[in-house]
Amino acid sequence: MPGGILSFLIFFPIISGILIGIFSENKFLKINIKKTSLLITGIQLILSILIYFSYDKTIGGFQFIDYFDSWIPFEAFTARYIVGIDGLSAPLVLLTGILGFCSVIASMNIQLRQKEYFMWLLVLQGVVTGVFASLDLLLLFVFWEAELIPMYFLISIWGSGRAHYSAMKFLIFTLTSGALLLIGIISLYFSTGTFVMFDITELGLSGIVNSNLSLAIPAIFIFFIFFIGFAIKLPLFPVHSWLPDAHTDAPTAVSIMLAGVLLKMGGYGLLRINVDLFHYIDPSILTDLGPYFAIIGAFSVIYGAILTIQQTDLKRLIAFSSVSHMGYVILGFSSYSAFASVGSTEGLGGTALQLFTHGTITGLAFLLVGLTYERTHTRYIPHLGGLVNKMPLITTFFVIAGFASLGLPGLSGFVAELMIFVGTFKMGSLYAVSTIVAVFGVVLAAGYTLWMIQRAYFGKEVKGDSPVAKIFDQLTDLNKLELLSVVILTITIVVVGIYPSIITDVLDIGVGEIFTR
């Protein structure tokens, strides 16, 4: 691949989005915004697939590096522009490409203030790619915070319900997580003397070049600052309350990006900083505290699942199931051990895979809920029922997404959850107890997923005072473009389920390098 390809992947949607925002509708020029956006994200999709498959597994390490020195040469620190991907981030860049394309397809019915909408959607895609590709911590932070503005506008202008409230809640929570992150990043800088990730992993503790050791910010403080920052984004109980609101009120495409990609920023941060970097700074923290994280993870799984069962709004239900599924991420995260035991690599590999699979599965679920809502104009489950007669395709794909979400063998969710369970179980007694508890999360998942599909899509046709009953005869199924996006996501789910090596081969390199770099 030519040099600069990763920078292109980041800045192409940002710049073209801004150009659309400024120039698409004036006296001299009229562009079909929807088709242009589709084209741009199509290019992004193809490029990210190409980049993913040309990642050289025999070499490993960071590849496609773009380097620009002296971005900020401040007296107290030097920040560089460095982007590149390794085994951990490559699948997430691919995920962003896939979901970015699908989210544009999901936005084809947007009428209100089109050019601004697609501008923000494209900017969002570029910025999120930047988060996964940054190798400089300050650069990562810049992308991390820059994602806020597009998200705020997308939720509050094009959202429904209490959109302003949800958008502000999202903004405040994410700003808090960003604030913690900034403190962590700066503290880390003063203990290691660099912002560049692979410098930290190379230098480790011996790399304390800052002579000002009186600073003495304890590593455990930095660890928890990062952990809380990422936990807000993930989100983990008790800082999850922004997620259901933001999801419920966001437009479909934004829900897809939010659940599919933005939550993964939290998981990626945990793997990249709290595991990868801290393996070289102070591996004892996570090794010692692992069991407690396992307990938190298992609790989050069960707590999220119990909340999910009670939901009566399709979108809110899937949002809460995300809280439950992100509990598995913490569970797998806890299985880290400084000595690279067998369980540890499996558990972390499962975590990384869970990020990818949950992105595709929940992306598909939100897409289908959005398509259903466009037709029925309600997401309230008691008002739905018997939709299978009018929407056989939507129902079929929703069943696939549901099965994948509850971990049916042969679909991608199963592989990731199995790896996490096996990896964590091997680690010792407290881990094993937590794993056993968390396995019941799968049972609950089967419960809420199947019950939801049964109530909303199968069951008796709605009658009486339900608003859907009046328009039931006019309900239509998927059109070709919608089918395309649904099929892309379904293929990803099925292929990864049947042949997981397509992702895990790359992930294993990334996870292995945590210990052997």
Partner 1 sequence: MINLNDILLLSPEITLIIGTFVVIIADLFFPKKSYSAIFTSIFLIISSILSIAMVANLISYNDSSGLSIINVLSIDKYSLFLKSLILVSGLSISVCGINLLSEELKSKGEFWALFLISITGMSLLTSVTEMITAWVALELTSLPVIGMLALNQRKHSLEVSLKYLILSATSSAIILMGIAYIYGVSGSTFFNEISTIDTSLSGKYLFKDSTNILLLFGALLLVSGASFKIASFPFFSWVPDVYQGAPTIVTIYLSVVSKIAGFSIIIRILFDAINSSMVSEWAIYLSIMAAVSMTFGNVMALRQSNIKRLFAYSTIAHAGYILVGLASSEPDGLNSGNLAGIQSTVFYLAAYAITNLTAFLSILSISREINSFEIEEFKGVGTRIRYQSIILAISLISLLGIPATIGFMGKAFIFTSAISNNLMWLALVGILNSVISAYYYIRIIRLMFIDSSEVQSSKTANSDLNTRIITSFGAVLIIVLGLAPVMLLGIVEDVVNLLQ
> Which residues bind to partner 1, rule: CB under 8 A?
70-77, 112-113, 138, 141-143, 145-146, 148-149, 152-153, 156-157, 164, 168, 171-172, 175-176, 179, 182-183, 186-187, 189-190, 212, 214-215, 217
Q: What whole-number distance in Å separates Cα of residue 171 and Cα of residue 213?
A: 36
Name the minimum Å distance from CB 133 to partner 1: 16
Q: Which residue has the tokens 């982007």?
A: 83
Give the Cβ contact number of residue 428 at 10 Å: 16
Q: Which residue has the tokens 């000002």?
A: 212
Give 101 or 141: the residue with its C-beta nearer to partner 1.
141
Whether 69 and 80 have beta carbons less than 8 Å apart is answered as: yes
Name the minimum Å distance from CB 187 to partner 1: 6
Give 53 or 221: the residue with its C-beta nearer to partner 1.
221
256: left (phi over 0), alpha (psi -120 to 50) or beta: alpha
Whether 300 and 236 have beta carbons less than 8 Å apart is answered as: yes
Name the minimum Å distance from CB 222 to partner 1: 11
Name the minimum Å distance from CB 466 to partner 1: 29
SS3 68: strand
Name the minimum Å distance from CB 186 to partner 1: 5
Name the minimum Å distance from CB 192 to partner 1: 13
Transcribe 378-397 into DSSP letters: --BGGG---GGGT-HHHHHH
Name the minimum Å distance from CB 235 to partner 1: 17
Query: What are 266's two structure tokens?
Result: 């939290």
Give 19 or 149: the residue with its C-beta nearer to partner 1.
149
Transcribe 12-26 into DSSP letters: HHHHHHHHHHHHSBS
**Dihedral of alpha carbons 323, 286, 508, 138, sign:** positive
Name the minimum Å distance from CB 370 to partner 1: 21
Name the minimum Å distance from CB 63 to partner 1: 26
Give 172 or 342: the residue with its C-beta nearer to partner 1.
172
Name the minimum Å distance from CB 151 to partner 1: 12
Q: Which residue has the tokens 């990043």?
A: 185
Give 165 or 373: the residue with its C-beta nearer to partner 1.
165
Give 152 or 373: the residue with its C-beta nearer to partner 1.
152
Transcribe 228-284 into DSSP letters: HHHHHHTT-TTS-THHHHHHHHS-HHHHHHIIIIIHHHHHHHIIIIIIIIHHHH-TH
Name the minimum Å distance from CB 118 to partner 1: 16
- 58: exposed, middle or buried (C-beta count within 10 Å: 0-12, 13-18, 19+)? exposed
Give 114 or 341: the residue with its C-beta nearer to partner 1.
114
Closest to 11 in 3D by CA, of 59, 68, 56: 68
Q: What whole-number distance in Å separates Cα of residue 117 and Cα of residue 97?
A: 18
Name the minimum Å distance from CB 178 to partner 1: 8
Q: Chain-centre distance of CA 180, in angstroms?
A: 20
DSSP 8-state class, residue 479: -
Give 179 or 471: the residue with its C-beta nearer to partner 1.
179
Closest to 157 in 3D by CA, of 111, 117, 106, 127: 117
Closest to 256 in 3D by CA, of 416, 481, 486: 486
Give 54 or 210: the residue with its C-beta nearer to partner 1.
210
From residue 480, alpha-carbon distances to 35, 44, 100, 254, 494 in Å are: 15, 21, 18, 21, 20
Give 52 or 143: the residue with its C-beta nearer to partner 1.
143
Whether 341 and 220 have beta carbons less than 8 Å apart is answered as: no
Give 231 or 419: the residue with its C-beta nearer to partner 1.
231
Give 142 or 365: the residue with its C-beta nearer to partner 1.
142
